[in-house]
Amino acid sequence: MSNHFDAIVIGAGFSGIYMTYKLHQDGFTVKTLEKAAGVGGVWNVARYPGAHCDSESHCYNFMFSEELYRKWAWSKRFAPQEEILRYLNFAADELDVKKQMQFNTEVSSAKWDEEKTQWQILTSEGEEFTATYLISGVGCLSTSNIPNFEGRDNFAGESYHTGAWPHTPVDLKGKRIGVIGTGSSGVQSIPMIAQEAAELYVFQRTPQFTSPARNRTITEEENAQLKADYAGIRERIVASYAGYPYVRSTKSAVGTPEEERLAMLEATWEKGGLSFGSTFNDIGINPNSNDIVSEFIRSKIRETVKNPETVESLLPNYYYTTKRPIIDTNYHETYNKEHVTLIDLKEQPIVRITKSGIQTAEKEYSLDIIVYATGYDAMTGTLLKLNIIGRDGVTLKEKWADGAKVETYLGLGVSGFPNFFTITGPQSPSVLTNVPASIEQHVEWISDCLQYLKMNQIKTIEPTEEAEQQWSKQCMDIANSTLYTKTDSWYTGSNIEGKTRGFLIYLGGLNSYRQICSDIAGNGYEGYQLKTTEAIK
Ligand code: NA7
């Protein structure tokens, strides 16, 4: 059997499923390689207790097909991991893409062959594939970050990372459990783990802003309304800044009288969900506006947590939203439970992991289980692990100086790497949007592009260095005009030891970005070098 395909897609999450479907529909041969045993991407591996999506479920799904949209009804306003995984299996079955997918197959390298103008892809299992196009659908958050604490491997109990949770149930009942990390995964899992644990110790380096999710069941009547409004929801998503079907606030926090702005904040707090972060239009750019909203959240934490010492440690002091905003269910309430203890790592840093637990500068905490809720090497970690080798044997690692100088064109391609596309790649809107909306836009753009190449007998496409540099500068300039770059976060790469600080997300909005991408395509793929077979000869 020939192992040559028009395209190899890596990853079978939202991106891989839709890309595979599109390519097959368009008449290309495609093979999708997935490391895990099934579809789902991050939703197949981040199975920690309490794992939920924080985009509202009715827009956290494929919108390109009305038929698909109508066939699925979500049970909850914010879907739990297992339901999203079920949805992705449903979508893959409905779209009939599993037969193009090969599971339990990890890509170990992909090398550009200039002479044959094709990619040679090798897997850890020793298989070889060749393909005209290489398309990454590996997602932005799929390489777990486990900090290199001294003695980490000496721990005699069980340890788990939230992003690589076992597929079989973990028995937490009556155990002494330590959770390191209070990002989204920590905040979601801590209240659930507290329900089972005999003792729970939360090791917190940075206190987080969180607002209530107010998750609830979606009634049949609501579901019927959501289905009836398919066209409206889709239209609003396409027109929106962040891929959500909501209208953005036009009010400034500093520009709104105190009484009115408090009423607005109370109303969005009560409503729940991520839209609290969009109560005003200048939270991300104006430090004074940000202070107003930050102080509002701090006041809620003070009202909730009873122990005065614990409250002090839980008050965040960075600019709200410059770390990924979190929505929670009973997070701060959990610290009122007798058996839950907050360890403030600013006061007593972790010194080492011991055989029996965690040793801080003050004492040793004896534990049965350590949960690492310590996040991901986001945006570039997984792409770099693929060992991609471009023209003249230059690796993506070398090109990006091991993550120190990441430059792409539109977050969709990299110069020196012909016929290579990155769905939600670095410097695209990606994680600062409702990600499935960004994925659909990228998949459709790539699909249009491949059809254009085919129709015009173009053999290779590759961004020019100049276009790439301009795009990278534009991304950084926009980020620098906001408060985002002022905080240490995985948005800036500063959560990973040795990773150079930058900002790998296009912040100009998905709607503007969509227009830019479509103009570039309309202008014959401006900023790209296109070569026909003749030109290559
Ligand atoms: P995050 O948001 O990166 O959170 C990781 C947490 O782990 C955060 O509180 C970190 O503290 C903490 N951390 C990381 N390294 C250490 C060390 N060395 N010591 C102590 N604490 C540490 O990851 P999540 O998985 O929660 O969320 C990621 C996204 O996944 C989420 O937004 C969803 O989109 C899905 P820090 O703040 O860096 O001081």
Segment 323-369, tens digit of pLDDT: 999 999 999 999 999 999 999 999 999 999 999 999 999 999 999 99
Domains in the chain with CATH codes: 4-143+377-536 (3.50.50.60), 144-208+323-375 (3.50.50.60)
Work out the mean pLDDT of the chain and round it to a whole number: 96
DSSP-derived 3-state class of residue 148: coil
Cβ of 489 closer than 6 Å to ligand 1, yes or no, is no
Segment 275-325, tens digit of pLDDT: 999 999 999 999 999 999 999 999 999 999 999 999 999 999 999 999 999
Backbone angles phi, psi at 333, to 5 degrees: -60, -30
Segment 235-244, tens digit of pLDDT: 999 999 999 9
pLDDT attached to residue 36: 97
The H or E element containing residue 340 is: strand 340-344
Q: Angle 446-131-137 (CA atoms, 0-180°, nearest 5)?
A: 45
Cβ of 324 closer than 6 Å to ligand 1, yes or no, is yes
Of these ranges, 42-46, 399-403, 493-497, the one predicted with the greatest mean pLDDT is: 42-46
Contact 293, 269 (CB under 8 A): no
Cβ of 372 closer than 6 Å to ligand 1, yes or no, is no
The H or E element containing residue 455 is: helix 435-455
Say whether pLDDT at 88 is over 70. yes
Confidence bin at 391 (pLDDT 50/70/90): very high
Q: Which atom of ligand 1 is nearest to the CA of 147?
A: 18
Say whether pLDDT at 182 is over 60. yes
Cβ of 68 closer than 6 Å to ligand 1, yes or no, is no
Segment 456-478, tens digit of pLDDT: 999 999 999 999 999 999 999 99
Q: 461 is written with which tokens?
A: 């496409």
**Distance (Å) from CA 491 to ligand 1 centroid:** 11
**Distance (Å) from CA 182 to ligand 1 centroid:** 6
DSSP per-residue string spanning 65-129: -HHHHHH---SBSS-BHHHHHHHHHHHHHHTT-GGGEE-S--EEEEEEETTTTEEEEEETTS-EE
Backbone angles phi, psi at 281, to 5 degrees: -90, 0
Contact 528, 464 (CB under 8 A): yes
Q: What's the alpha-carbon Rg for the chain, to the nearest Å? A: 23
**Distance (Å) from CA 463 to ligand 1 centroid:** 33
Tell me which residue has tokens 């998949």.
Answer: 443
Ligand 1 pocket, mutate which of 48, 374, 490 (most atoms under 8 A from CB): 374
Q: 516 is written with which tokens?
A: 């830019």
**Distance (Å) from CA 411 to ligand 1 centroid:** 24
Backbone angles phi, psi at 478, to 5 degrees: -65, -45
Percent of the chain with pLDDT over 90: 95
Say whether pLDDT at 1 is over 70. no
Cβ of 81 closer than 6 Å to ligand 1, yes or no, is no
pLDDT attached to residue 184: 98
Cβ of 142 closer than 6 Å to ligand 1, yes or no, is no
Contact 516, 445 (CB under 8 A): no
Report field, pTM of the whole predicted structure over 0.95 = yes
Segment 477-505, tens digit of pLDDT: 999 999 999 999 999 988 988 888 889 99
Distance, in Å, from the CA atom of 43 to the CA atom of 326, rounded to the nearest integer, reads 18
Cβ of 430 closer than 6 Å to ligand 1, yes or no, is no
Three-state DSSP string of 393-433? HCEHHHHCHHHCCCCCECCCECCCCCCEEECCCCCECHHHC
What does the pLDDT average to over 102-124? 98
Confidence bin at 250 (pLDDT 50/70/90): very high
Q: 442 is written with which tokens?
A: 């990228």
Cβ of 132 closer than 6 Å to ligand 1, yes or no, is no
DSSP E strands, 162-307: 176-180, 199-204, 210-212
Confidence bin at 401 (pLDDT 50/70/90): confident
**Which residues partner with 129 through β-bridges?**
121
Q: 229 is written with which tokens?
A: 């409004």
Q: Which atom of ligand 1 is nearest to the CA of 490?
A: 3
